[in-house]
Amino acid sequence: MPMRRRSSLRRRILLGLLGYASLLSIAVVIQGDVVNDHAEQLVWQTLLQSELDHFLERSRSDPQYRWTDIDTVSLYDAGSGSQLVPAALRSLPPGAHDDVILDGIEHVVLVREVDGRRLILSLDITELEAREVDMELTIAGSAFTMIVLLGLLVAFGVNHLLRPLSRMALHIAQLQPDRVAQRIEVPESASAELFVIATALNDYLERNARFVERERAFIDSTSHELRTPIAVIVGATELGLEHAGDPAVARNQLSRIQRTARDVEQLISLLLVLAKDPARLASSSDRIALDQLLPEIVEDHRHLTRDKDLELALAALPSAEIVAPLPIVQTAIGNLLRNAIENSDRGEIRVSLRPDATVVIEDPGHGMTPEEISTIYARIARGSGREGGGIGLDLIARLCEHLGWSLDITSDGQRGTTTTLKLRSQRHA
């Protein structure tokens, strides 16, 4: 199942703060609109009350006083003739009324009963509504601008806060399992949380380095201890094979013991290499001419083709040298050649060498599916129960990783397999 892509902490913080700022701005705009409507109603009501009070006061002091309408304010006296009162105003009860439409124009109206008279004062608010719309657009634009500016400030702040964390993550990603004395460094300006994380990681790296060193020491000690009994077994089988009068069955068994003992000896040599720090391998490495070594390896494995219709063909060899432990180079190439022989029945196994110290083995065998190749790349040995055993492609993969070599296996699934072993260190390419 493919891994679900996870959003970054920077993105989550940024979206969270922007969401919060947006909701807060919307709430402020809504609250401002509600407050503005309420204040607007109070202003209009106060204005109409004041105008009507002024009219009544002037009428009492001067019976001859008459109201004169202006463009935006009109007074209707329902007691002096209801036919003069617009139909939309006749049924309004006493009090202030908003959103009253007269002749397609929005008005606010104040209705008051005075001495049995029904006075109606209306105010045209068309211009005021237009200004209100302009004000709302201004507020909305200001809110949007504030959100954009706040987003930029938040993005800058989040990047500034998370930059040390990103640098630490990059540093952690650059850690190499084959290096010792690695530490995570954080600047003095970093937060206390980053110091806690760095301290915990450094403690883990130190414990892991001690653990790896103990494992290397154990493998090194054990491998050296095993060399003596293996040497005794090999020597004893060689002495036994020198007696020509031994039965054929006994000689076959001794030969089998000898081959197995040599395989174990190769495995011990490989474990000794894996137990060493790659930086210290140079002291135990040899300068090897691959064009001279490959014919020897091919001849050592030619006996494995006796019971099969197989031929080992060695292509023209260009000059190529590497610096590496000789037993390990012999073991690695020999194991790959043995795998090719064991998984082929007939035809020709071709071994070639490239000038860049790359060994290519092409076999006419059974081939492999992409799944089987993926399994090999996952360092799972192929053919675990075969005669002789070898050291397994899983250990070859470990060896390549340890020494900076590369191993590539390709197959069309039907016509054999091509194994490419590049022996030149990638670390120093």
- Domain locations along the chain: 9-148, 175-283, 285-429
User: What Å distances lie between residue 84 and 51, 52, 76, 115, 201, CA to CA?
Assistant: 20, 18, 7, 19, 90
Confidence of residue 157 (pLDDT cuts 50, 70, 90): confident
In total, the chain counts a number of residues equal to 429
- DSSP lists the bridge partners of residue 120 as 76, 111
* Residue matched to tokens 């190439």: 333
Q: Is the pLDDT of residue 379 over 50?
A: no
Task: For residues 164-187, give the mean pLDDT.
Answer: 78
The fold of the 175-283 domain, in CATH, is: Helix Hairpins (1.10.287)
Q: Which of 363, 357, 362, 361 is nearest to 345 (CA)?
A: 363
**Would you state the pLDDT for residue 246?**
67
pLDDT at residue 132, as a whole number: 75
pLDDT digits (tens, 9 = 90+) for 312-328: 999 989 999 998 878 78
Instruction: Provide the pLDDT for residue 294.
Output: 92
Q: Round the CA-based radius of gyration of the chain to a whole number and report it.
A: 47
- pLDDT category, 360, cuts 50, 70, 90? very high
Q: How confident is the model at residue 384 (pLDDT cuts 50, 70, 90)?
A: very low
Superfamily of domain 285-429: Histidine kinase-like ATPase, C-terminal domain (3.30.565.10)
Strand order in the sheet with 105-114: 73-77, 117-124, 105-114, 95-102
Q: Which of 46-50, 57-61, 408-412 has the lowest mean pLDDT?
A: 408-412
Say if CB 254 and CB 238 are below 8 A apart: no
**Looking up tokens 């998984």, which residue turns up?**
343
Q: What does the alpha-carbon distance between residue 295 and residue 240 come to, in Å, rounded to a whole number? A: 28
Q: How far, CA to CA in Å, does 230 sit from each of 233, 240, 253, 324, 355?
A: 5, 15, 16, 24, 37
Contact 321, 287 (CB under 8 A): yes
Q: At what angle do helices 326-342 and 248-275 cross, to 10 degrees?
A: 130
Convert the pLDDT of each residue in 238-282 to its tens digit.
777 776 566 777 777 777 787 777 777 766 766 666 666 555 555
Question: What's the N-to-C CA distance of the chain in angstroms?
Answer: 36
Whole-angstrom distance, CA of residue 48 vs CA of residue 109: 8
CA 302 – CA 307 distance, rounded (Å): 11
d(CA 120, CA 109): 7
* 367: CB partners within 8 A, 6+ apart: 411, 412, 413, 414, 415, 416, 417
Contact 400, 386 (CB under 8 A): no
Q: ∠ CA(374), CA(378), CA(384), 5° rounding?
A: 95
pLDDT at residue 428 is higher than 60 = no
Average pLDDT, the chain: 78
Confidence label for 373 from pLDDT (cuts 50, 70 and 90): low
CA angle 125, 129, 130 (to 5 degrees): 120
Asked if the model's pLDDT at residue 138 lies above 80, the reply is: yes
* Residue 352: band (very low, low, confident or very high) from pLDDT cuts 50, 70, 90: very high
Q: List for the chain the helix, strand, coil content (%; round to 5).
A: 60, 15, 25
pLDDT value at 425 more than 70: no
On whether the CB atoms of residues 305 and 377 are closer than 8 A, the answer is no
Helices H / strands E in the chain, number of each: 9, 11
- Strand, helix or coil at 288? strand
DSSP assignment string, 344-402:
--EEEEEEEEETTTEEEEEE-S----HHHHHHHHTT--SSTT-TT--SHHHHHHHHHHH
pLDDT digits (tens, 9 = 90+) for 61-113: 888 888 888 888 888 887 665 557 888 888 888 888 888 888 888 888 888 88
* Of 172, 170, 196, 166, residue with least CA distance to 184: 172
Cross-strand pairs, 351: 314, 361
Q: Label the pairing between strands 105-114 and 117-124.
A: antiparallel
